[in-house]
Amino acid sequence: MIDLMVKSFVSFFQYPSAWGIGLAIGFGVVWLACYRPPLFKKPWLWAVLVSSPFLTLAASSFILFPLMQAIDHFLRQWVLGYWILVVLIPLVLLGVLVLEGSKLVPVVVYWWRSGKNIDPKLGLVIGAVAGAGFAIFSAQHQHNLIFFTGWNWAWAVHTGGFWALAGFWESFFTVAAQIAFSALAGYGLARGRGWQFYLIASGLHALLNYGRVLLVALLPDLHEEIYIAAVAVAVTAWALWLRWRKTKTTDEPEKSFP
């Protein structure tokens, strides 16, 4: 089992591609810029950005992976075959709870070190940065697998049409969603409603993942890509509204985040 967990961890570093990594960073920069994180005024945010993907990857490989293996061991194949859409509900929920919890670790660390009193908008931005770290890393892994198959622009334009770009469309909006989920969780933590917003972020993440499963099973073609974009835009709009809405001014220095 240990070997399998290590292989799961290492697999995210296979088949590196300059184009795959570059596109992932570009997608992350586009969506994260909407939150205007003060990366140069608060350099410690770079530590959040860098540490988040490794924390989440470690949780995925060494916590989530063995749990999924154990569940698969106890469920018979005929149960999975006949009840796959039902069985996937708790599996999806378990997965997003682990992932969103691990992405929230850097936010919790800063919140704890600050005496459990930070501006909600700062909490939201820290969450967005943490989400961006994992989102970029996950997207580059997906892109690298696409390029490893021999994907090239000439083939995409002349023979593949939109389907040749579907993987990049999906990762572009998935990056947005991953950032927004973590931003909402960070906002809730700073507001003193950490577990509520953690469950909301996890629920939205589960809605995205399980909705994709349903659409693949019931309505293939372009429905999955449209669904991903719609969920990502809606959740991002909520997170950005919380980030940029006007709030009452206060004299407390920790509440002066722009």
Q: What is the pLDDT of residues 10-67, one digit of tens each?
A: 777 777 888 889 999 999 999 999 999 999 999 999 999 999 989 998 888 888 777 7
Nearest to 169 by CA among 68, 51, 33, 27: 27
**Structural domain includes residue 45:** yes
pLDDT at 113: 87
pLDDT at 249: 46
pLDDT at 174: 95
**Structural domain includes residue 255:** no
**Structural domain includes residue 250:** no
With residue 95 as reference, give the H or E element that holds it. helix 84-103
What residue numbers bound the domain in which 112 lies? 2-12+19-244
Once rounded to an integer, what is the mean pLDDT over residues 245-252?
Answer: 58
**Structural domain includes residue 212:** yes
pLDDT at 254: 41
**Structural domain includes residue 204:** yes
pLDDT at 60: 83
Q: How many domains does the chain have?
A: 1
**Structural domain includes residue 122:** yes
Q: Which of 71-75, 83-87, 198-202 has the highest mean pLDDT?
A: 198-202
**Structural domain includes residue 251:** no
Once rounded to an integer, what is the mean pLDDT over residues 230-238?
Answer: 96
Distance CA 139, CA 27 (A): 9
pLDDT at 97: 92
